[in-house]
Structure 1
Amino acid sequence: MLNNMEENYLAKWLNNELSEEEVAKFKATKEYTSYKKIVDATNSMEAPTFDMAKAKRDLYKRKEANETKVLTLNPYKKYLRIAAVIAVIVGISYFYNAPTNEIVNTQYAERAAVILPDDSEVQLNADSQISYQKKNWKENRNIDLKGEAFFKVAKGERFTVSTDMGMVTVLGTQFNVENREGIFEVSCYEGLVSVLYNQKETKLSAGQSLVVINGQLKTSELANGHQPSWLQDESTFKSIPLKFVLDEFQRQFNMEVETKDLDLEQLFSGSFSNTDKNLALQSISAPSGLKYKIEGEKVLFYAETP
C-alpha cells in the first residue's frame, strides 16, 4: 500500500511536477524502481490511432440498437403475457373438452348391461371390460373390448369393436365378441359383420361364427338362437379345448380351478349352467370322463383312473 506521501510524489512525478528535492526523496523509496520500470515499458508502446468518425458511427449504432431493444422489450413482455394467458386457457379448455374414456368392468361371477349414447346395448359377460369415448359418440362409435360382450347396435355410422386380437365392424346388427387369452370368437345374430384378423377380412352373416384358437381360424354355423347362450345363463361350447371350458367355469362361479393329469387340449362339446354350480360340474366332468373334488372355493379336476 502507498502512504499519502508516496501517492502525492507518484502523481506529481508522472506529471513532472516534483522539485529536485522531492525527486531525490521519491527515488529513495523502495517502490520507485518498480514504478520506473512500468513507466519505461509504457513509454515504448505506441498508442492506437483513434478514428473519431468511426467512433461516432459505432456510438450511433449502439444507441440505435439500445433504443430498438428498449422499444421492443415491453411489447415482447406483453406478448409473453398474452401467450401465457392463451396457454392457460388452452390447457383448461383441453382439460374440460378432451375426450375421456368411459370404462365398465365386470368381475368373476358378475355381469353388466350398458346403454350407449345412441341407445345401442352392450351386455358384458363375467371378467370383461369395455371402454369408449362418450363425446362425439355418434360420429365415432368405437369400443375397446377385453373379455366377452354381446352387442345390439342401433343403426347409424360405422360401429367398431377393437380387441388385441382383431377388429369387428358393423353398421347396425346384433353380434357377440369374445376376446380371451388364446381365443377370439365372433358370432353374428343379425345383419352383417366384418371381422379383421391378421390383416384378413372375413364377413359373417346372421347365423355364422368365426373362432380363432391358438392362431387357427375357422368358421362355423351357429346353433338356433338369436342371442348367445350365456345371456340365458348357460355357457355353450362346440369343439373347444377343455382349457377354455374350465376357464369359463372359473369366471362364472368365481372358484379357483386346479387340474391334475388332464389333457387340457382335448375338445369339449356341450354346455353348463352358469347359476347351478353342482350341475355345471357334472355337465363338464361327465362327457369328458373327469372327476372333481371341491375344497371350499377351490375345485380340483383330475382324470378318472381305469
Structure 2
Amino acid sequence: MEKESLNKKWLEGRLTEEEQIAFDVIEDNELLKQIIDKAPAFSASNFSEVQDVEILKSKIKSKNNLLNKRNWLVPMLRIASVFVIAFGIYFLFFFNNAINIETAIGEKRMVQLPDASEVMLNAVSEITFNKNTWADKRELILEGEAFFKVAKGSTFDVVTSIGKVSVLGTEFNVKQRKNLFEVNCFEGLVAVSYKKETLKLLPGHIYRILNGKISSDTISNKEKPFWINHTSYFKKVPFHEVIKELERQYKVVITVNQKDESLLFTGGFTHKNLEEALESITTPLKLVYDMESPTKISLHHSE
C-alpha cells in the first residue's frame, strides 16, 4: 500500500492490523506521531481575530495620544503650580498678617493707618490691610464706604470688588455697595481704575458705576462727605439705594410696595432720628410709611 494512503488512514483511525504493521515500519512515522500528539496544545483561542487586532491598535493609538497630551500638560501644570504656590504664599502672608476693621449698623469709626493716614468708616463697612508691608506698599481692601485723608508719600491704593482708587496724598470718599461703586474727590487728584480704563478725578467731582453703567457728577460739599456729620446725601441715586443706606444707619428692615426701579432720589436724611429720616425720604416722593414694629417699616404711595 502506498505510504500516503497509509498515513491518511492512520490519521483517520481506519488502519487494519496488516496496515498498522506496514505503517509502523515507515521511517518517518515517529515524527508524524509527535506532531499529532502536540497538536492539542496549539489552541485557536491563543490567537487574536481581526477584530481583536483592530481593538488593540485602537488602544495603542489612544495610549500614545494620552502620552502626547501628558507630555504637553506636564510643563503647563508645572507652570500653573508655580502660580498657585506663589498666590498661596501671598494669600497666607497677607491675610495671616492682616488687620481687619469693621463697623456695625449705625456705627462710624476713625482708623489711623501706619503712615498716619486716616480712614473714617461708615456703617457696615470694612477695611483690611497688612501693617508689616505697609511701608513698602500702601494698599488696603475696602468693602462698604470710607472717607480717606491720605498722608503724602508713595502710591496709596484702595481696592474694591468693582474698581480701584489710586492716589499719592489727598482726601476722597469711596463707596462700594454690591453693584454700586462711587468715588468722590475732595482734594488733590484721584485715579480711578475700572476694568482696563483709568480716569483722573478732580476735586468736587463724582465718578459712579451702577450696575455696570458709568456716570459722573459734581458735589456741592467740597470739604468732606455728609455722612461724617451724621447725614446721608444723595444726588440722582436710585431710591432702592437710599433705602439700603437707611437700613445700614438704623437697625430696621424696610419694605417698599409697588417698587419702581427707575425712581431716582435727590436729598438726604439724618442718622440721629428715624422718624425724621423717614419723613425726609418719603415726603418728596409722595410716599407714606407705616411702623409695623420698631424694626419693621413699610412704604407705600399715599391714596
TM-score by length of 2: 0.67
Question: Quick one: distance in 1 between partners of 2:95 and 2:183?
Answer: 32
State yes or no: 1:298 paired with 2:285: no
- C-alpha displacement at 1:214, in angstroms? 1.2
Gap change, CA 1:235 and 1:159, over 3 Å in 2: same
Aligned counterpart in structure 1 of residue 248 of structure 2, from 244, 247, 251: 251
- C-alpha displacement at 1:181, in angstroms? 1.1
Q: Output one character per residue of 1:178-224: Cα deviation in whole Å (capped at 9) or x when no partner.
A: 00012100000000000001211111011111011111111111113
Aligned counterpart in structure 2 of residue 141 of structure 1, from 138, 142, 150: 138
Q: Alignment identity in percent?
A: 38
Counterpart of 1:208, as a letter, is: H
- C-alpha displacement at 1:272, in angstroms? 0.6
Aligned residues: 211
Aligned counterpart in structure 1 of residue 99 of structure 2, from 99, 102, 110: 102
Q: Output one character per residue of 1:82-123: Cα deviation in whole Å (capped at 9) or x when no partner.
A: xxxxxxxxxxxxx99996110001111111110000000000
Aligned counterpart in structure 1 of residue 227 of structure 2, from 215, 226, 230: 230
Gap change, CA 1:208 and 1:96, over 3 Å in 2: closer
- C-alpha displacement at 1:265, in angstroms? 2.8
Gap change, CA 1:96 and 1:147, over 3 Å in 2: closer
Question: Quick one: distance in 1 between partners of 2:94 and 2:219?
Answer: 43
State whether residues 158 and 164 of structure 2, in contact with CA within 8 Å, keep that contact through their aligned partners in structure 1: yes
Question: Quick one: distance in 2 between partners of 1:139 and 1:299?
Answer: 48
Larger radius of gyration: 1
In structure 2, runs of 5+ residues without a counterpart are 1-91
1:156-171 correspondence runs (5 A):
156-171=153-168
Q: Output one character per residue of 1:269-289: Cα deviation in whole Å (capped at 9) or x when no partner.
A: 001111111110000000011
In structure 1, runs of 5+ residues without a counterpart are 1-94
Question: Quick one: distance in 1 between partners of 2:296 and 2:135?
Answer: 45
Question: Quick one: distance in 1 between partners of 2:261 and 2:248?
Answer: 17
Gap change, CA 1:293 and 1:229, over 3 Å in 2: same
Aligned counterpart in structure 2 of residue 273 of structure 1, from 264, 270, 275: 270
Question: Quick one: distance in 2 between partners of 1:164 and 1:250?
Answer: 22
State whether residues 235 and 271 of structure 1, in contact with CA within 8 Å, keep that contact through their aligned partners in structure 2: yes
SS at match of 1:164: coil
SS at match of 2:111: strand
